[in-house]
A and B are shown apart, each in its own frame.
Chain A
Amino acid sequence: DAKTTQPNSMESNEEEPVHLPCNHSTISGTDYIHWYRQLPSQGPEYVIHGLTSNVNNRMASLAIAEDRKSSTLILHRATLRDAAVYYCILRDGRGATNKLIFGTGTLLAVQP
């Protein structure tokens, strides 16, 4: 599985946008970019995923660089409930299973 690199931690203020970066310079053509987050004392939770085009859903937006070597998860208006560890994960779209291999994510702190 290709590796991703994320900052260990980031801080944001409530109701401001947050941009969480992820580098994946060894991404292959069939790797999808997945984002999950883990709130304290809870299981990981799906946020968003994409292949080449930018993606939007009710939780967040995913901006993917043209060369696909990096991506950014965008939370448009951070709330206190968004404080969590955010994981950027590459998963081969041809994979026989949908297992996720977690790396070291970004701990997002949201200040009121």
Chain B
Amino acid sequence: AAGVIQSPRHLIKEKRETATLKCYPIPRHDTVYWYQQGPGQDPQFLISFYEKMQSDKGSIPDRFSAQQFSDYHSELNMSSLELGDSALYFCASSPLRPNEKLFFGSGTQLSVL
């Protein structure tokens, strides 16, 4: 069965650079969620999209932005990268029916040097 696809798997950037992470949800899933997980931390919700509109917002820094496209894939854009942005970034998808479970991708490991 198709799963949530994230790219790239690993990304190395330097301070003040920009990064773009991509997420391809499971077919027919219209909602995408982004999470950040620092070393030894629990996943923190950043933002979610439904039908290309932002549906919920968590602790996403102003330096980050995200969008969902017409094919439902989503991109997380990160600018002016800081050392503290080094983390595992997960994308998840689900249908928007109440109480649907989330399916997570394998994540993108971002290292900021």
Q: Which residues of A are at the interface with B, using a C-beta cutoff of 8 A? A: 32, 34, 36, 38, 42-46, 49, 85, 87, 91, 93-105
Chain B residues proximal to chain A, CB less than 8 Å:
4, 31, 33, 35, 42-45, 48, 50, 55-56, 58, 90, 92, 94, 96, 98-107
A44 with B55: in contact, given A94-B98, A98-B94, A99-B48 (CB under 8 Å)?
Answer: no
A-B contact count (CB 8 A): 66
B92:A96 contact, CB within 8 angstroms: no
Q: List 14 A-B contacts (CB under 8 A).
A: A32-B99, A38-B43, A42-B107, A43-B104, A44-B104, A91-B99, A93-B99, A96-B55, A97-B96, A98-B31, A98-B96, A98-B99, A100-B45, A101-B45
Q: Are A44 and B43 in contact (CB under 8 A)?
A: yes
Report the minimum CB–CB distance from B95 to chain A (whole Å).
Answer: 8
Expressed in whole angstroms, the Cα–Cα distance for A96 and B101 within the complex equals 14
Knowing A102-B42, A102-B43, say if A97 contacts B31 (CB, 8 Å). Answer: yes
